Amino acid sequence: MRSHKATTPSKRHLKSIKMGFLSPGKTEKALILPKVSKQGRSNSGRITSRFRGGRGKLLCRNIDFWFAKRGTLATRGAVVELEYDPARTAYLAVILFLDGKLSTERRYMIPTDNLQVGDVVEIGDSASLKPGNILPLWKISPGSEICCIELMPGRGAQLVRAAGTKAQLLLVDEKHAAIRLPSQEVRLVPKECYAVIGCINTPSHNKTTKGKAGRNRWLGRRPRVRGSAMNPTDHPHGGGEGRCPVGRKVPSTPWGKSAFGGRTRKTSRPASKLILKPRYR
């Protein structure tokens, strides 16, 4: 962690992560996609998610979440550079593949913690069991920490991709593997799904502080306005002379529903049968 001198009010409480080890060079042009910011708006321009929008421009990195080099034989790749990614909390690694049909090709991947430039990463069924390597779940020993997990084979990594997050592989049976997610939810995943051994880099990200409101605006997070500070046409809590109580038995959402966190997941979904222990208590 990096603390700053209080030369300005915004630096007084600012705590950031040291990024001096990241590559200061240019990004891989072949792996960059254009991205237009449309946060919080639908294709008709209406607000669909409140308090979003207005973030700074960024270049979207094309990350290989699909593990395109998967196969029976292990494919090796060397970590050439570690780069900053403005679109996520974890930094990225540029992997240069050393063998296979598409050798000398470069891909972006999310590295695990303590992975450094020059390390070799293996992808495939016969890869060795060490942090940073990518294997199917049935090849990983139970009790291991894993990240970047697929929900269905070939669909790409969808779970545990944020900085410092990790899941635990509990057991593997004939068809499925049971994993415990960071939310403490225990669910089943097909054992043919691929995952990365280890924890996502930057585990101290949850200890950072923004220091000022402008940093949230850079990330596209707009101010959250209280319902009691709105007009009665905008929120059920709005209106009144000065500060007033809610005026209801239960606090409400802007759409009149209970704000006490009712369960919204549909139990009729087929995937609900794969959840052994839900994340709510």
Q: Which of 177, 205, 233 is the last residue of a domain?
A: 205
- Residue-number span of the structural domain to which 250 is assigned: 225-270
Distances in Å between the Cα of 222 and the Cα atoms of 52, 116, 155, 214 are 5, 36, 33, 10
The answer as to whether 212 is a domain residue is no
Give yes or no: residues 192 and 238 share one domain.
no
Give yes or no: residues 258 and 149 share one domain.
no
Q: What is the pLDDT of residue 102?
A: 60
- Domain containing residue 257: CATH number: 4.10.950.10
Number of domains in the chain: 2
Give yes or no: residues 196 and 245 share one domain.
no
Q: What is the pLDDT of residue 35?
A: 82
Assess contact for 202 and 89: CB atoms under 8 A. yes
Give yes or no: residues 197 and 230 share one domain.
no
Give yes or no: residues 141 and 240 share one domain.
no
Give yes or no: residues 248 and 168 share one domain.
no
DSSP reduced 3-state for 70: coil
Give yes or no: residues 233 and 137 share one domain.
no
The answer as to whether 200 is a domain residue is yes
Give yes or no: residues 77 and 155 share one domain.
yes
The answer as to whether 144 is a domain residue is yes
Assess contact for 146 and 129: CB atoms under 8 A. no
Characterize the bridge pairing of strands 75-83 and 32-33: unpaired
Tens digit of each residue's pLDDT, the chain (281 residues): 899 999 999 999 999 999 889 998 778 889 998 888 888 999 999 999 999 999 988 889 999 999 887 888 889 999 999 999 999 999 999 999 988 666 788 999 999 998 999 999 999 999 999 999 999 999 999 999 999 999 999 999 999 999 999 999 999 999 999 999 999 999 999 999 999 999 999 999 999 999 999 999 999 999 999 999 999 999 999 999 999 999 999 999 999 999 987 788 888 999 899 999 998 76
Give yes or no: residues 175 and 48 share one domain.
yes
Give yes or no: residues 136 and 190 share one domain.
yes
The answer as to whether 213 is a domain residue is no
Assess contact for 193 and 148: CB atoms under 8 A. no
The answer as to whether 39 is a domain residue is yes
Give yes or no: residues 159 and 263 share one domain.
no
Give yes or no: residues 8 and 129 share one domain.
yes
Dihedral of alpha carbons 66, 68, 72, 73, sign: negative
Residue with the two structure tokens 């802007």 = 254
Distances in Å between the Cα of 134 and the Cα atoms of 7, 41, 150, 255 are 45, 36, 11, 45
The answer as to whether 71 is a domain residue is yes
Q: What is the pLDDT of residue 101?
A: 63
The answer as to whether 210 is a domain residue is no
Query: Bridge partners of 159?
Result: 149
- Domain containing residue 8: CATH number: 2.30.30.30
The answer as to whether 168 is a domain residue is yes
pTM: 0.90
